Amino acid sequence: MSAPIKTIKRALLLSASAITASTLLYSGSAFAQLDEIIVTAQKREENIQDVPISITAIPAKEVNVILQGGGDILSLANRTPGLYAESSNGRTAPRLYIRGLGNSDFALQATQPVSVIMNDVILENTLLKSFPIFDVQQIEVLRGPQGTLFGRNTPAGIVKFSSVRPSQDADWNFSTSYGTYGSSNTQAAFGGSMGETLSARISGAYIRRNDYVDNTFTGEKNALGGFYDLAGRAQFLWTPGDNFDALLEVKGREEKGTATLFRANILTTGSNKINSNFVKDEVSYDGGAGNPQAINSSGISLNMNYDFGDMTLTSISAFDQATGLSRGDIDGGFGGFFAGQASGPGFIPFASDTGNEYFTSQYTQEIRLASNGDEVIDWQIGGFFFRSKLKALTDPGFVPPSTLVDHKEAVALFGQASFEVSDLTTVTGGIRFTDDAADLIVFNQPGAPVPDTNVSAQEVSWDLSVNHELNDDMNVYARIAKGFRGPSIQGRNVAFFGGVSTADPETIQSYELGFKSILAGGNLRFNAAAFYYVVSDQQFTAVGGTGNLIGLINADKGVGKGFEFDATWAISENFDISGGFAYNDTEIQDSALAVSTCGSANFAGLPGSGSFNCTPTDPIDARGFALIDGNPFPNAPKITANFIADYHAPISDDMTLNISVDGSIQGQTNLFLYESVEFNTSGNFELGAKIGLGFQDDKYEIAAFARNLTDEVNLAGGIDFNNNTGFVTEPRIIGIMFSARN
């Protein structure tokens, strides 16, 4: 990195720190007032300040800024306190983490402890979670267990997306951008009345990037790195009377492009710094067939509400499905020592080329009866049904492919009530019973036949909170919650002559204290929470190692503690800033738990092997396994921080200058269950900016933008079984954008 860029980065970090400090100390201005934020974290509309849960609401304006360079859900990583996202499967399979809890398993049948909800529909499979973000009203990040109202597989929290709903008012908007490597994000939406009782909204997005990476092994120019992602949504809202409404949503998506580009030996033994084997626009692949990736998905949902006066009956029915394929040159280079071939970059023992084809579908049904909030006690009761199927064809390249068929099913009953103990204090409690089951069938196993595998569990999750109003502008709350993740099955090993592994359900007990406030005469919102949780029988996936195997394991305990805060400050009519910070300290507690370390241990002493050996720092047992007691959870950043500053000032009666700067920081992050010198990150940083002109009260805007402005090369993940392979985050994108609305 050049000295000027280092200076810019240091100045920006200092500025962000100064902004955060000023936010906390400044008494405020009377010029601007913050808007009220309405969330649906408890399945009813409430002011975010009154909800006894740690929540950050990301408005559409901020989301659109983050996605300008063609980004997807992974772009939300580190953009709100405690939320991290990564993927070794490109745009089709995101893995999310909250407060350090997540699942690094790349298999699509893997369960995740962070649930994604889009327009009130829970999406289980990662293929479904990757649906593009467009025409969004707001994103809510709910931290901590959400097991009462949202059920299984939410012990870490929820990322909740809400689209703009149809209305009787005519509305349209259009935006497009174009930047480096032909990156673009074009979105359009229009809606309005189709009669006195029917309204509609149609929206869509076309996101793309040109191939920009050369394959120096084959000599192909601009062969990899590109994609296109086309998605659309149609919504129809029928309101035949004051007491009934029905919202029908139909959506679809087609994505095709390049899977994750793995880079051989970009980490040097004894260092986690990316070395000269990394060249942004070059790879040397002899396999992978062009690293293709594709997904087609569709879904339909019907949300109906009938108001009886004192209570409302809600029914939400949804069906979603997706097909996909992905293939890659997993070793990240060419050749292989054991095949008698020259290899590179660096030393590669053997070639690895793996492909997968998938089909998944899910059906969900929720029925809920809730009070309308006019009494001392607010309550809701309901039932939920979930069923899914995944069919995966796994082809490791050196044996005939195997087919895995995975089924999951869950049935749940739940209830929650809030009681106003006084005008200042409200107590909320809830409980949920879930019957959860899964099975896996394997066809064409290359070794011995694999018997059908079944797992099941019945669990009770609950929460109890107290919210106390100190005054009109300050609330404090305490929350205790129990959540769980259902039992898991992992069959990916069958492709490598292994068997099926299972994991028992995990449960979490979480404790949280929070503070919510509107300060400085209504100009400053400051919310904070401290937490401590214990996960019993925590599920982990041991990935890679000497045999490139994937196996589910349960740790006795996992413990996490920390705090987070976020703030928004309307400094004046023309200038506002927001930001957040999270500290997460996680620890595996199991004195007997051991996992395989990097595969290079098998090849010590071979010619050239010193160029790829990794350096485990954990105690090693007699089998050569690492004892991981005391290690942090994988992909659990110890620190995340973010900020966005927005300045808008009139130049004339019809013209406005718009400037925004945003940034994110990711602290120490271990990539695997074992610790090593190489496979971890620290100090990842990204910066974005936009400067433009708005016309007619920002009805039209034209602007220049940059994502990853300082062109940081941040390590996002690694593959340890063959060589010191890694993959990185998005490159710098600079471009222009235009938007218009009515």
* Token pair for 495: 């492709």
Q: Any residues with CB less than 8 A from the CB of 508 and at least 6 apart, and which?
A: 101, 145, 155, 481, 482, 483, 484, 533, 534, 535, 536
* Cross-strand pairs, 275: none
Look at residue 565 in the predicted model and tell me its pLDDT: 96
Residue 68: closest CA among 657, 701, 570? 701
Using CA atoms, how far apart are residues 581 and 13, in angstroms rounded to an integer? 13
* Cross-strand pairs, 439: 407, 454
Using CA atoms, how far apart are residues 353 and 396, in angstroms rounded to an integer? 6
Give the rounded distance of the alpha carbon of 275 from its chain centre.
28
Using CA atoms, how far apart are residues 591 and 631, in angstroms rounded to an integer? 11
Q: For 448-512, give the DSSP string.
A: SPPPPEEEEEEEEEEEEEEEEEEETTEEEEEEEEEEEE--EEE-GGGGGT---EEE--EEEEEEE
Where does residue 8 fall: left (phi above 0), alpha (psi -120 to 50 degrees), or beta otherwise? alpha
Residue 286: closest CA among 238, 233, 241, 345? 345
pLDDT per residue as tens digits for the range 600-652: 444 444 544 444 468 899 999 988 889 999 999 999 999 999 999 999 999 99
Q: Any residues with CB less than 8 A from the CB of 18 and at least 6 apart, and which?
A: none
Question: Coil, helix or strand for 311?
Answer: strand
How does the average pLDDT of the chain come out, rounded? 90
* Token pair for 618: 């954990």
Domain definitions of the chain by residue range: 3-741
* Token pair for 287: 């396999």
E strands, 60-197, in order: 83-86, 95-98, 114-118, 121-123, 136-143, 157-163, 171-179, 183-193
Q: For 654-700, give the DSSP string.
A: SEEEEEEEEEEEE--EE-SSS-BSSSEE--EEEEEEEEEEEETTTTE
Q: Any residues with CB less than 8 A from the CB of 253 and at least 6 apart, and which?
A: 131, 132, 229, 230, 231, 232, 295, 296, 297, 298
Question: Coil, helix or strand for 585?
Answer: strand
Q: Evaluate whether 205 touches 173 at the Cβ level (below 8 Å).
A: no
Look at residue 21 in the predicted model and tell me its pLDDT: 43
Sign of CA dihedral 111, 115, 118, 122: positive
Residue 407: closest CA among 491, 508, 483? 491
Q: Which residues of the chain, if any, have pLDDT below 50?
A: 1-30, 600-605, 607-612
Look at residue 599 in the predicted model and tell me its pLDDT: 72
Q: Any residues with CB less than 8 A from the CB of 49 and at least 6 apart, and which?
A: 37, 475, 516, 517, 518, 525, 527
Q: Evaluate whether 296 touches 302 at the Cβ level (below 8 Å).
A: no
| Fold annotation for 3-741 | Maltoporin; Chain A (2.40.170)
Q: Give the 3-state secondary structure of 360-419.
A: EEEEEEEEEEEECCCCCEEEEEEEEEEEEEEEEEEECCCCCCEEEEEEEEEEEEEEEEEE
User: Any idea what the Cα angle at residue 96 is, between residues 94 and 97, rounded to 5°?
Assistant: 160
